[in-house]
Amino acid sequence: MTTDDVHKVRSFEHPGAGRKRAKATPKGRQVDPTAAHEIEQLLGDRPRQRDMLIEYLHLIQDHYRQISAAHLAALADEMKLSFAEVFETATFYAHFDVVKEGEPDIAPLTIRVCDSLTCAMLGAERLLAELQDKAGPGIRVVRAPCVGRCDTAPAAEVGHNFVDHATVDNVLATAKAGDTHTHLPSYIGYDAYVADGGYTLLNRLRSGELAREDLLKSLDDASLRGLGGAGFPTGRKWRAVLGEPGPRLMAINGDEGEPGTFKDRYYLETDPHRFLEGMLIGAHVVEAPDIYIYIRDEYPASREILTREIAKLPAGGPRLHMRRGAGAYICGEESSLLESIEGKRGLPRHKPPYPFQVGLFGLPTLINNVETLWWVRDIVEKGADWWKSHGRHERHGLRSFSVSGRVKNPGMKLAPAGITVRELIDEYCGGMADGHSFRAYLPGGASGGILPASMDDIPLDFGTLEKYGCFIGSAAIVILSQQDSVRLAALNLMRFFEDESCGQCTPCRAGTQKAAQLMERPVWNRALLDELSQAMRDASICGLGQAASNPLTSVIKYFPDEFKEAAE
């Protein structure tokens, strides 16, 4: 091959070879200098570590009321992350309003109207439609999943200020007044808590006066179980984490997103230090130097109270890190919670390994629910016999029931474990609301199934409802009356699960969508719905998909009249 032939080959392989190349043009998304400066100023001297991504997305959202593509690119550049990684995280969470290039800005004020079951029963759809019609310019009105205020339904959020028993008039009056900031309820602060003996137990444990094994034995003897829904024995969980090689971490699951549930919010907004002391005791037992406290975004008052009260704690002890959810029910699942704390999308992890083995940042992690830790001090100080002295129908302990729906006095009801729903309504809720007769109830929130009023004598506790295809979960009790359609209630719940599915696995992602479509039809295909429900239970990665069909199967099994009416 001659020299000329070589040049011809090179020219063929590289068109334009031998000629002067044009000046290179940068490819991909460029960082806007103004946006870069704004992000740099907003972050200040905060660390640019990966797990802070969601916290910084909140900073942008709070400051600008939206998150622009330019700010996402600047944040990615500032944190040395890919734009795709930042974008997929921001768009995963419902509370981040991401504005893509070419889209109009979000309205300055957002009103969110809860559309979950209890609020829907009490007129949320009509409220939403009227607000959208009358809100006027500068105000965006959108629907929102359960905000944890079922006892004061319907609920709406104006900015970060919740309006209980919401009406068009009081919501728009709140917006017009510019009352968009969080209001804090009265609660037991640090000084009052200490004056009543608070942190004595923690100090005894830290000084060695109380042996770690004696404390664990108290929890074992009381049979305290996880009160977030799973019901795993607390003492056994602490021992399992302690049995793993260190270092170890602790994470708090304050993402109380199950429709109908609001007990954790009640405890955080009334007696937060009782929870904090239980948390610090747990961290001491498993020797965790860091605690990550994850509180759902719908609980701004709880987060503000904890931030204020943590600042009053004496120096020393583990490092406490507050983490803010961003509107994702899936993050109540423990492994999704860990992913979110790490600044990622809340996608459930495959198990095993389990979080107590490989958890937060790859380390053994103790994960506890807010209420579980709230009871630690009382159980250890008063003794296991005190705890077990409560209970009915051969059950033991206390349960914090979140009761909402068609009762006279809804709210958080502390009652004996094993109480029946009829006893709960009559003794703790003042009976049914005027004009309503008891028809059906949810014994465990959205995923716990639906039972008819004729089955009102079942003790409400762990292990008593499973044989009926239901479970107590987080003890969220929603009461339906003769004015409510059980079939439409189940459809409301399925739409919630469809919206909240993380999308990682097909059985849940496609199953909830298909189930909602089938349930919208006036005639139900029972065989297909049964088959679909079984596939979701068998093949979904986490509890969301596995339990999403419980309300559906309950309607078919326990409400044949309504099912037959739908099939005619």
Q: Say which DSSP state 21 is in.
A: P
* The domain boundary residue, chosen from 380, 413, 433: 380
Per the domain annotation, does 568 fall within a domain?
Answer: no
- β-strand pairing of 438-442 with 319-324: unpaired
Per the domain annotation, does 28 fall within a domain?
Answer: no
Q: Say which DSSP state 444 is in.
A: S
Helix, strand, coil percent content, the chain, rounded in steps of 5: 45, 15, 40
* The domain boundary residue, chosen from 45, 73, 99: 99
**Domain of residue 535, CATH code:** 1.20.1440.230
Question: Using omega within 30 degrees of 0 as the cis cutoff, is the peptide bond preceding 154 cis?
Answer: yes
**Encoding tokens for residue 41?**
């100023």
pLDDT at 101: 87
Please work out, in degrees rounded to the nearest 5, the angle formed at the alpha carbon of residue 53 by the alpha carbons of 48 and 57.
115
Q: Are residues 168 and 208 in the same domain?
A: no
Q: Are residues 424 and 321 in the same domain?
A: no
pLDDT at 21: 56
Question: Distance between CA 435 and CA 509 in Å, rounded?
Answer: 40
Q: Which of 427, 562, 551 is nearest to 116 (CA)?
A: 551
Q: Are residues 51 and 71 in the same domain?
A: yes
pLDDT at 16: 45
**Encoding tokens for residue 413?**
């009801």
Among all chains, which residue has been given the structure tokens 């309003």? Answer: 97
pLDDT at 17: 47
Q: Are residues 159 and 40 in the same domain?
A: no
Residues of the chain with pLDDT under 50: 1-3, 5-18, 567-568
Q: Are residues 513 and 474 in the same domain?
A: no
Q: Are residues 63 and 167 in the same domain?
A: no
| Positions of E strands within 43-191 | 67-68, 98-99, 109-114, 139-144, 156-158, 161-163
Domain count, the chain: 5
Q: What is the pTM of this model?
A: 0.93
Per the domain annotation, does 226 fall within a domain?
Answer: yes
**Domain of residue 83, CATH code:** 1.10.10
Q: Which of 404, 394, 360, 110 is nearest to 244 (CA)?
A: 360
* The domain boundary residue, chosen from 55, 72, 99: 99
Per the domain annotation, does 363 fall within a domain?
Answer: yes
Check: CB of residue 456 under 8 Å from CB of residue 558.
no
Q: Are residues 297 and 274 in the same domain?
A: yes
Q: Say which DSSP state 318 is in.
A: S
Question: Distance between CA 555 and CA 534 in Å, rounded?
Answer: 15
**Domain of residue 132, CATH code:** 3.40.30.10
Per the domain annotation, does 18 fall within a domain?
Answer: no
pLDDT at 563: 67
Per the domain annotation, does 350 fall within a domain?
Answer: yes
Question: Distance between CA 499 and CA 493 in Å, rounded?
Answer: 10
3-state secondary structure 232-287: CEHHHHHHHHHCCCCCCEEEEEECCCCCCCCHHHHHHCCCHHHHHHHHHHHHHHHC
Q: Are residues 292 and 152 in the same domain?
A: no
Check: CB of residue 55 under 8 Å from CB of residue 90.
no
Strand-by-strand arrangement of the 476-481 sheet: 411-416, 398-405, 476-481, 438-442, 451-452
Q: Are residues 362 and 426 in the same domain?
A: no
Between 212-222 and 272-286, two packed helices, what is the crossing angle to 10 degrees? 120
Q: Are residues 229 and 344 in the same domain?
A: yes
pLDDT at 10: 39
**Domain of residue 420, CATH code:** 3.10.20.600
Per the domain annotation, does 115 fall within a domain?
Answer: yes
Question: Distance between CA 165 and CA 151 in Å, rounded?
Answer: 9
Q: Are residues 48 and 159 in the same domain?
A: no
Per the domain annotation, does 535 fall within a domain?
Answer: yes
Q: Are residues 261 and 361 in the same domain?
A: yes
121: containing domain: 109-177
| Positions of E strands within 380-475 | 398-405, 411-416, 438-442, 451-452
